[in-house]
Chain A
Amino acid sequence: GAGVSQSPRYKVAKRGQDVALRCDPISGHVSLFWYQQALGQGPEFLTYFQNEAQLDKSGLPSDRFFAERPEGSVSTLKIQRTQQEDSAVYLCASTPSSSYNSPLHFGNGTRLTVT
């Protein structure tokens, strides 16, 4: 596709429900990142994939958060037993290579509201 696509755009979940957020990166992009952006804050790193390998998940806030990218393209961020503090915008970004000078291309994000 032309850009990074994320779905759904909005998600409302009751506390305790599980949610799955999808990211479709730009075709051929090797690296994929997930970020969490709380209201009024800058994005914070969650996890990073190079192809299908999850090379860093140090930013995942708890073991309720799980991300996968089984075929090295589409990625899913799953949050189990959602809590109110999980309410945020979840941004996905991809880059064509793992080189540090390769700019990140972001999607429009998924706004998650936990009630």
Chain B
Amino acid sequence: AQTVTQSQPEMSVQEAETVTLSCTYDTSESDYYLFWYKQPPSRQMILVIRQEAYKQQNATENRFSVNFQKAAKSFSLKISDSQLGDAAMYFCAYRSSLPGGGADGLTFGKGTHLIIQP
């Protein structure tokens, strides 16, 4: 079974600064998807960015980018120019490429609470 580990329960950053959230995972599969989701107090999980394991190029979405190190099984999220609206819980998630059942779903880490200091 896959596991996802987020070792930072909480991170704090000054507005307009850059912050990096870490995530490591364990899998024996070679092809899979990795995601970062944001969960504000409204509770809705919002997709921030995703990365296909077979792609070497790191994904980027505006101020959000990832550092994907497949050999190290590491998938960190960098948020540049942090804004007050970025404050939320951030969850790293893994999705298997193998068909069938719950493997189609996501395995989440425990999350990192991101605080933005004005």
Most chain A CB within a 10 A radius of its CB, from B45, B101, B105, B110: B105
Q: Nearest residue in A to B4 (C-beta to C-beta)?
A: A42
How far is it, in angstroms, between the C-alpha of A109 and the C-alpha of B6 when the chains are bound?
A: 23
Answer whether residue B68 sits at the interface, using C-beta atoms and an 8 A cutoff: no
Give complex CA distance A106, B108 in Å: 14
**How far apart are B3's CB and chain A's nearest CB, in angstroms?**
11
User: Which listed residue, B45, B95, B109, touches A106 by the CB 8 Å rule?
Assistant: B45
- By beta carbon, the residue of chain B nearest A44 is B108
Residue of B nearest to A31 (CB): B104
- Give complex CA distance A96, B106 in Å: 15
Instruction: Give the interface size bracket for A toward B.
Output: 20 to 34
Given known contacts A100-B96, A103-B35, A108 and B102 CB-to-CB distance under 8 angstroms:
no
Q: Say yes or no for A48: interface residue by CB 8 A criterion.
A: yes
Is the pair B44, A108 in contact by a Cβ cutoff of 8 Å?
A: yes
Number of A-B residue pairs with CB-CB distance less than 8 Å in the complex they form: 74
Which of B77-111 touch A at CB < 8 Å? Answer: 91, 93, 95-111
**Which of B46, B91, B102 is A42 in contact with, Cβ under 8 Å?**
B91
- Report Cα–Cα, A91/B45, bound state, in Å: 9
B-contacting residues, A87-105, CB 8 Å: 89, 91, 93, 98, 100-101, 103-104
Interface residue? B33 (CB, 8 A): yes
Q: Give the docked Cα–Cα distance between A91 and B111 (Å).
A: 16
Contact B108–A98 (Cβ < 8 Å): no
Nearest chain B residue, comparing its CB with the CB of A59:
B102
Task: Report which A residues bind B (CB closer than 8 A).
Answer: 31, 33, 35, 40-45, 47-48, 55-56, 58-59, 89, 91, 93, 98, 100-101, 103-104, 106-109, 111
A-B contact pairs, 8 of them (CB 8 A): A42-B93, A42-B111, A43-B106, A47-B102, A48-B104, A56-B105, A98-B104, A104-B45
The 9 closest A-B CB pairs, nearest first, are A56-B101, A42-B108, A106-B45, A56-B102, A109-B43, A108-B44, A100-B97, A55-B101, A45-B105
